[in-house]
Structure 1
Amino acid sequence: MPTAIDLSEGDAALTDAVRRCRRLLNRRALVAAAASTVPVPGLDWAVDAALLSRVVPAINAEFGLTPVQLDRLPERDREKVQKALALVGSVLVGKLITRDLILRMAQAMGKRLTARQAAKYVPIAGQAVSALMGYTALRYLGEEHIKDCVRVVREAGLALPAPARSGKPD
């Protein structure tokens, strides 16, 4: 299965956007891992949902695929994006992230998340496994979303927005 970098096919701007998104995703996945070790029922699910509701729009923004960015495109380019979205089949690209969308993503990872809940109650080793599963689940969902964004950008032939340069940490 190709990675997001492979899908960028040597496009330097696209590869840089993928790398920025992966750095952001890695930081968020570490937070998910930390939350997974706390033996409070449902805390890790709540943290995962909160993290996903922030990281998905940030990834969309890197690729110029937020609803606001798409509204600024000329009509011809918006049509290309809609066709690319239909082809890729993503439910998160170019959409406002709602609770229902986050729940749909979590359902895709349902078995892993349920095992993570059970594992956290085994002292030390279980918490480590739970943390690893929390990290892996968020990384997987984020990486799949990055791939979808790359596919949409390539299919629609969009130019990426300039990278955001803010002084605040992600």
Structure 2
Amino acid sequence: MVDPVGDGLDRSLEGAFTRPIPKSAQAQMKYLVKQLKGTRAVAQLLGVSQRTVERYVKGQLKRPRPDLRDRMEREVRKRWQPQVRARAKHKASTTDGLVLSTRARFGFTAAPGTTDDARVRDITQALTPQWADRLFTARDAGATEQQLQRIAAEGLAEMYFRNNNTRAHGLGVEFTGIERIDIDL
């Protein structure tokens, strides 16, 4: 399942990494074993046998199946450089904010008597630290993709459509049909 906003937040934090993630299957497996403190936990996480994990750690197996390779890389990315990730999150949430660039369908709800049908727009907008903090906090609390999209829509409504709440008061924005989303710190 693709989560455009959640995955975009994760990719933005990966941009702060100071070192590349391990490339080889052996290095990735060793890293996971060290992080999870044992081969049994890694085997359960990846859905393989404990013996398979041990073979990758020893270098006896080198080329995982594509689905296993993807799971290994995803799990390593989730755990890689947690302090760097936390610093980047803190900086975005307190001082820098983030830049949201998207191509999506935007529709509006406004005062009675006005109409504005939904249409696809390309928007690149800086969001204040308040919105970065709301997005990261919701992501860490396990928010669904719909909840993250709602927060992103509120942020775009305030900063882009209502110009930091200086115009178009009461304009509600619907953020649907996401074709692409990139989030940068």
> What's the TM-score, normalizing by structure 1?
0.29
**Higher RCO structure, 1 or 2 (CA under 8 Å, sep 6+):** 1
Could you say which structure has the larger radius of gyration? 2
